[in-house]
Structures are given as C-alpha cells and as structure tokens.
C-alpha cells in the first residue's frame, strides 16, 4: 500500500511542513519542554542537540513487535538526544551522553533509502521529535527518490500538540510509550512532572490520527497505534492507571505491548524503588491489569532469566490465542527476551490500499 506521506510529498505538503517545523526549532518549542534554545544560532536544546540530525545507529532491527520486525527487520534509525532525562535509560550513551554522528538532511534521506534497499519492512524513527524539521525534509527528498515504506514514529510519548499536528497524515504507525500514570513518578525518574498529562493528550491524538493497528497480507503493520508500557518495579509506572485511561479514554481496541525488559541502569541502580529488576509477580499483576480493563490486543513478554537467557513458556495472560516460545530477540544489554504474539484481532489492509483501507 502507499504510505501516508506519499500524498504530502506529491502536493508539496512535506516541504511546507518541514518549513513550519523549522520555525518551531528556534526558539525551540518542538517538544513540551519548550526550552526556547536558539538551535539555529548554535545553541543546544534541552535535548542536547542542535539542528543537524545526529544519528547513533541505523540498521534492520529484529527485536521490535512482530508486525514491525516481521521476517526482514524494522528499518530503525536511532537518533541521539532526548527531551526526557530518564534515570534508567538503557540508551544513555546516545540519548543523554552525546554519542552519535551529525549528518545532513540529504544523508538522512540516503539512510532511509538504504534501509529500504536492505529489505526492511518500514522506516522506524526512534526518538526523532527534536529533529522534526530535518526528518520531514529528508522524508520529502527520499520520497522523491522512491521511498515507499510505512513510516513508524517511535516515541517516548512526550510530544507537543504542534509537533503532532505537523505529523498528521504523514505517519503510518505510531509506536508510543506510556511510561507513567503519576506526575510524582514522572518527575522522579524522567524529570518531567507534566509527562502524564502531556502523554495522555498525545496518545489520544495519535489514536485519532492513526486508529487501530492494521496489517497487510504478510502481517506487517501498515497503519495504526501501538502503545508500549514498560513495567517498573514497585508499581512505579502506574500500570493500573495507564490501562484504565486506555480503556476508557482511547479504546479497548488499542494494541498494547507490555514490556518486561526493565533493567536498572545508570542512576537507577541506587534507587530504593526501581534499583532492582521487575519480579514475575509484578509482571503478572501488570498483565492482569490489561485483562481487567478489557485490553486484549497486543503482546506480553517472557521475563529475562538470570544469566541473560530467554525465559521459558509464559502464562497465557491475554487469552487463548496467546502463542509462546517465539525466537528470542535482543532487546536490552542485559539479556535476550522474546515477544509473545497475542494479537486477537485481524485488521488486514486491502491489497489495493488507498482511502478505502482507512
């Protein structure tokens, strides 16, 4: 099917949106921090970056959710910098530590096309929001050179309404975190007390734009919203509140990926609450919150076993279609864990694509 951004490329919309996003970058108001840094003048934003796209890694990734990685991998582009300051971030070397290489928009377009040439199922932009103008410009250039893969916006969920407005009709799949239910937890662990309020507004808007997950004839995601929720020790993520919000304010049809791979990294190692792994009981309780709120579309995971090997068969928490013992995929520096496919709804995109598939 034709990706959403193709129409915007044809009518000049991507170019116009890139210009509008650039106006938000200096003084910077791209993310909810609204730090007002003069990034065009050489200043670094709260995200730690200027205006040149900074990339840590770009490669096919087998470890995303099954409809994203498929058989050939998701074409991930890991951007350096981040608007959040999560104390437990496993990507700290490039999200907060500055690792990565600054490239031009033309180079970024070439990266997109290179991932397509390697057979990836999609272009998966990881934490890209602070480079929104440059991403849109690169996407426009790549579309003109033949890029036709779905675009995945892989985000912390800390997005401004202005940025999301510019992405409307451009993004095919939103892969968005819901990290916290509590402002206190968001302040303590990500230095962003406004995260829950901002995040809920953003998730609702992403659902409005993209709707439920739809896959093509190969089972590959074509459009829709996938919400990721990382279970934290001691209930710090507020899983019950997150699930209630999704069920009552978004839809019970939303696809949820309940993530088990929390590892206490960096500053979190010494934290009295999150300075330890999640226990099996805590994860089972979190999965139970999905069920009690009627959230039956998505995935649960095996917990990493001691020593880094994938755990064995997990309990079928999301219904009879739960499938276990899929091949393990690397998702964290501390071990290898596998997604367990538990989608209970089939929304296939017609082979012809187009507006009738929406």
What tens digit of pLDDT does each residue of 219-244 get? 999 999 999 999 999 999 999 999 99
CA distance 142 to 113: 6
Nearest to 259 by CA among 296, 311, 300, 294: 300
CA distance 269 to 33: 26
What tens digit of pLDDT does each residue of 168-227 get? 999 999 999 999 999 999 999 999 999 999 999 999 999 999 999 999 999 999 999 999
What tens digit of pLDDT does each residue of 27-58 get? 999 999 999 999 999 999 999 999 999 999 99
What tens digit of pLDDT does each residue of 313-356 get? 323 233 222 222 222 222 222 222 233 333 333 333 333 333 32
Q: Partners of 230 in the beta sheet?
A: 259
Tokens matching residue 247: 């069920």
Residue with tokens 């995200």: 47
Quote the pLDDT of residue 289.
97
Domain boundaries, the chain: 5-32+48-348
Quote the pLDDT of residue 302.
79
Peptide bond into 247 cis (omega under 30): no
Using N-to-C axis directions, what is the helix angle for 13-23 and 132-144, rounded to 10°?
A: 160
Task: Give exposure, 260-287, as e/b (b: 16+ Cβ within 10 Å).
Answer: bbbbbbbbbeebeebeebbeeebbeebb
Quote the pLDDT of residue 313.
30
What's the average model confidence in pLDDT over 257-264? 94
Angle of CA points 71, 132, 27, to nearest 5°: 160
Nearest to 260 by CA among 297, 228, 292, 306: 228
What tens digit of pLDDT does each residue of 54-98 get? 999 999 999 999 999 999 999 999 999 999 999 999 888 899 998
Q: How far is CA 77 from CA 26, 178, 295, 297, in A?
A: 24, 21, 30, 26
Q: What is the pLDDT of the chain when averaged over all its residues?
A: 86
- DSSP letters along 37-99, please? --GGGT---TTS--SS-EEEEEEEETTS-HHHHTTT-EEEEEES--S---TT-TTHHHHTS--
Lowest mean pLDDT, pick from 248-262, 273-287, 290-304: 290-304
Tokens matching residue 211: 């709707």
> What is the CATH T-level fold of the domain 5-32+48-348, as seen in this structure?
TIM Barrel (3.20.20)
CA distance 91 to 36: 25
CA distance 67 to 58: 19
Residue with tokens 């076993």: 305
Quote the pLDDT of residue 91.
87
Quote the pLDDT of residue 337.
27
Element (H, E) at 21: helix 13-23
Residue with tokens 């330890």: 276
By the 8 A CB rule, do 289 and 239 touch? yes
Tokens matching residue 274: 């999150």
Q: How far is CA 218 from CA 65, 253, 297, 299, 351, in A?
A: 14, 21, 18, 18, 11
By the 8 A CB rule, do 343 and 321 touch? yes
Quote the pLDDT of residue 93.
87
Quote the pLDDT of residue 230.
97
What is the Cα gyration radius of the chain?
A: 19
- DSSP letters along 174-190, please? EEEE---S-HHHHHHHH
By the 8 A CB rule, do 3 and 165 touch? no
CA distance 20 to 163: 10
């Amino acid at each position: 099917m034709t990706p959403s951004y193709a129409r915007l490329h044809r009518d000049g919309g991507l170019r116009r949106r890139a210009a509008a996003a650039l106006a938000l970058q200096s003084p910077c108001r791209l993310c909810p921090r609204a730090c007002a840094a003069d990034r065009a003048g050489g200043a670094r934003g709260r995200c730690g970056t200027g205006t040149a796209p900074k990339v840590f890694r770009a490669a096919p990734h087998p470890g995303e959710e099954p409809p994203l990685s498929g058989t050939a991998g998701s074409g991930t582009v890991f951007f350096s910098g981040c608007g959040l300051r999560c104390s437990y971030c496993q990507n700290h070397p490039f999200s907060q530590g500055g690792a990565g290489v600054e490239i031009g928009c033309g180079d970024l377009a070439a990266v997109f096309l290179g991932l397509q040439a390697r057979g990836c199922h999609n272009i998966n932009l990881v934490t890209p929001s602070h480079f929104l103008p440059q991403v849109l410009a690169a996407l426009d250039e790549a579309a003109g050179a033949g890029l036709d893969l779905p675009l995945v916006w892989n985000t912390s969920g800390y997005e401004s309404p202005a940025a999301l407005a510019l992405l409307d009709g451009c993004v095919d799949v939103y892969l968005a975190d819901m990290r916290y239910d509590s402002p206190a937890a968001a302040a303590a662990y990500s230095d962003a007390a406004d995260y829950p309020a901002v995040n809920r507004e953003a998730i609702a808007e992403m659902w409005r734009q993209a709707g439920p997950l739809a896959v093509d004839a190969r089972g590959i995601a074509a459009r829709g919203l996938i919400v990721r929720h990382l279970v934290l020790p001691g209930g710090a993520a507020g899983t019950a509140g997150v699930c209630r919000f999704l069920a009552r304010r978004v839809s019970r049809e939303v696809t949820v990926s309940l993530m088990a791979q929390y590892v206490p990294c960096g500053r979190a190692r010494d934290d009295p609450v999150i300075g330890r792994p999640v226990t099996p009981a805590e994860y089972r309780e979190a999965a139970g919150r999905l069920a009690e709120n009627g959230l039956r579309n998505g995935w649960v995971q095996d917990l990493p076993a001691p020593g880094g090997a994938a755990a064995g068969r997990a309990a079928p928490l999301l219904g009879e279609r739960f499938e276990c013992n899929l091949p393990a995929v690397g998702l964290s520096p501390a071990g290898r864990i596998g997604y367990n496919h538990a989608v209970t709804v089939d929304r296939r995109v017609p082979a012809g694509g187009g507006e009738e598939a929406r």
